[in-house]
Structure 1
């Protein structure tokens, strides 16, 4: 069920707005339809009451022999009328309470005109075959708007249901007449439906526009937080927009400043410790020269070389973040080609265009590519480089001829001081920082590095860098 629900804040806001709009529209139209039906019924009762009062007043002043002439004069296709000894409305009990109350009202009001009883019933429209075609006069192209509307109303009344009334005079005659009920027009019609649809479309369009405008700062906030995760030195968020967004932006900027200070302190500490180690190491190396041919001299010298290598590696790891280069456009093909020329074990061939331009820090990207090639040459003897373009990114593929890496350790090797080679030999195992530095540089440039075992053998490293616009 959850997969059919919106997964984002703008979608939820739009869903709530549209659902609320539809609910309010349905409720409003239901209330209007109910009120209109009630008002129409009261109005029809009023019309029947007024007509009965007029007819009773007229017929009570005319002798019984002349009433038939009045019936003939007053009758028409929409308002039928008759005189009889028996009522047309046979039931002495009204079909509902409203009609029963109206009967009592008629008897009470018409007593002064000699009316002793009244019966009211509902009748359904009965239009004989062929009458529909002759109800109105033929269409007249010269007829005006009012004339056509009157003709339409007359046709509707002739085909509508009605209220039949039978009132008895004190001489025993029943006056029967039918008052047509005005047919209710549908709420949705050919004229009103476009209006309703246009209003609904306008409200939905305004809701979408307002929602996108309202949530735009939060989308920018999301992108900025992701950028901070990739580069803690990214520019701070602009504090503009709604008060809620301003508060969130200030909190993120404060967090970024604290995180930047925290990282800088650790980087400076690591660099300072590694740098300060050089003084005692130099002093030990000078004193080691005094041992001349002592048996332990070779072992101590070897250990000193390891310590100095570790110190240099830590300084490199810390200093690549401390050095702040200005990003610029770089000819990536030329950069890779220049680095590959320094290795006899590297082959770099590409059949595609050399127009590979990216934006980044030149020294950092050179270091990133160098670390990847060093890793391939160290563990795989030879490295084969290929440059291509995919989905707007520049992709550098480096394949070596080594044994590869177990699948469960492909991501682990990017952690600092993690080496697949478990020996303590720094010549074969390295210090475990090259891939860490390379991936951090790639991500700061908006790209990434992935490792995979090549089906043909060896390890395949893939560096993706966004191509400059």
Structure 2
């Protein structure tokens, strides 16, 4: 299983998303840690101010009013009472420096105090009052603390009053401020989605020139005269587009020059061939004259076949929707007029194929001609699957060794091995058929049939 997407766009998006999510998580954790510290200190400051206010209020009150003041402040989660001696720290408790510093700043000078906390749920807090049962646990609801604050710790403060007695405070403090505010989560979500959308758009803009380059390279294989690429985008992309355009220009010039050379050679050869025909006509009838006429006829056919081979790669015919079934039926009429047997197998309806009708007829016609020449009778099957139109031409000939199938596409290579026009064609028919098919983004292949004979398969993708 591949972990990375296959396209450059997908890989860039994956890298951006991974980096963005990682940065968001790290940033959120740093933010929440900083927020935790500030909230805990704020919570501690409020508690110290409350304790200081109670101490001042108790010291300024008469002894008979003190208990009423203490009762007014007592709650399930906050205990305060007066005792002759400081309460002993609970097991496992430790001093709290930052709370001690805050209390030192708030209390009057020369005041003795002790502040300790007990790790979360290690020991329940005590009930208040000098006569309280110190081993009786507080109600469970006193431990629930503040929603989202995480585990609570037991807090105990002993502060000596002016009269020598001790006022004891027992409370719960959050060990961790773990709440993730809805606003923070919403902000992170909106930020993540916004940056993700911007990243997708940016990556698409950056990779679009590369996508155009890939499509242009694909078009070049089927149309050497396709329009040049726009040389826009980043420097590297512009350089690649310019290099591609130069390559396409050189290829087009090379093919055009080759065609012009062959046309010139053909024109130049026709003149001496014509002169030789005229001179041959002056000869007396006989075997020599007949041989010369056959040689001249074969030379003309080879020159014409060479030009036809070039036209297979340089067709200027326009692309139009082609009814492949009708094209095969037209070929069938032509073949049967010459006394040959061609059968079209029944097929389901196939939508018109975008192609060059004359070139396609020539491509399939060459294969049918080979089939009836070497295999007497041909069967043609037209199918389509996953956007690929396939035409299979099967003959009833002897077949060909597997190692020689591909060599038949070479120029002037024929099935019967000779170069005699009397026993075969010029040996360019298969090459012309393949050139035409490849010009449509497809191909022509040969294979031996299961029950004998040779099969020529033309594949034509709708989207080359």
TM-score (norm 1): 0.79
CA distance 1:382–1:350, change in 2 (3 Å): closer
1:119 aligned partner: 115
- Alpha-carbon shift at residue 254 of structure 1 (Å): 3.3
For 1:269, which of 243, 261, 274 is the aligned residue?
Answer: 261
State yes or no: 1:173 paired with 2:172: no
Which secondary structure does the structure 2 equivalent of 1:4 belong to?
A: coil
Which secondary structure does the structure 1 equivalent of 2:422 belong to?
A: helix
1:255 aligned partner: 247
CA distance 1:421–1:194, change in 2 (3 Å): farther
Q: 5 Å matches for 1:70-469?
A: 70-90=69-89, 95=94, 99-100=96-97, 102-103=99-100, 106-107=103-104, 110=107, 112=109, 115-122=111-118, 124=120, 126=124, 131=139, 160-169=152-161, 171-181=163-173, 186-188=178-180, 196-197=188-189, 200-201=192-193, 203-205=195-197, 207-212=199-204, 214-237=206-229, 248-288=240-280, 292=284, 302-343=294-335, 344-352=339-347, 357-465=352-460
* Mapped partners of 2:146, 2:179: distance in 1: 21
* Mapped partners of 1:449, 1:187: distance in 2: 68
Contact persistence 2:145–2:172 (CA under 8 A): no
- Count how many residue pairs are aligned between Structure 1 and Structure 2: 446
Gaps of 5+ in 2: 126-135
CA distance 1:180–1:336, change in 2 (3 Å): same
Return 58-67 or 42-51, whichever deviates more. Answer: 58-67
Q: What RMSD in Å do the two structures reach over aligned CA positions?
A: 3.9
Contact persistence 1:275–1:311 (CA under 8 A): no
* Mapped partners of 1:187, 1:66: distance in 2: 40
CA distance 1:412–1:206, change in 2 (3 Å): farther
* Mapped partners of 1:94, 1:391: distance in 2: 75
* Mapped partners of 1:129, 1:419: distance in 2: 104
Gaps of 5+ in 1: 136-151
Contact persistence 2:40–2:177 (CA under 8 A): no
Which secondary structure does the structure 2 equivalent of 1:461 belong to?
A: strand
- Alpha-carbon shift at residue 196 of structure 1 (Å): 5.0
- Alpha-carbon shift at residue 289 of structure 1 (Å): 5.2
Which secondary structure does the structure 1 equivalent of 2:94 belong to?
A: coil
1:19 aligned partner: 18
2:131 aligned partner: none
- Alpha-carbon shift at residue 408 of structure 1 (Å): 3.4
CA distance 1:29–1:412, change in 2 (3 Å): farther
1:5 aligned partner: 4
1:149 aligned partner: none
Return 262-271 or 365-374, whichever deviates more. Answer: 365-374
1:143 aligned partner: none
Contact persistence 2:156–2:169 (CA under 8 A): yes
Q: Deviations over 1:22-69 (max 9, x none)?
A: 101210111012112221232233234323433443344456676445
- Alpha-carbon shift at residue 177 of structure 1 (Å): 0.5
2:41 aligned partner: 42
Contact persistence 2:360–2:436 (CA under 8 A): yes
CA distance 1:230–1:406, change in 2 (3 Å): farther
Q: Deviations over 1:373-419 (max 9, x none)?
A: 12212222322223344445543321111122333343343343444
Return 114-123 or 399-408, whichever deviates more. Answer: 114-123
- Alpha-carbon shift at residue 239 of structure 1 (Å): 5.7
1:147 aligned partner: none
Q: Deviations over 1:267-302 (max 9, x none)?
A: 111222233222233334444556647886666555
* Mapped partners of 1:123, 1:93: distance in 2: 7
Contact persistence 1:378–1:428 (CA under 8 A): no
Contact persistence 2:412–2:419 (CA under 8 A): no
Q: Deviations over 1:204-257 (max 9, x none)?
A: 455445544553443333222101112212333456677765554444333322
* Mapped partners of 1:438, 1:338: distance in 2: 18
Which secondary structure does the structure 2 equivalent of 1:161 belong to?
A: strand
Which secondary structure does the structure 2 equivalent of 1:119 belong to?
A: strand
2:130 aligned partner: none
Which secondary structure does the structure 2 equivalent of 1:399 belong to?
A: strand
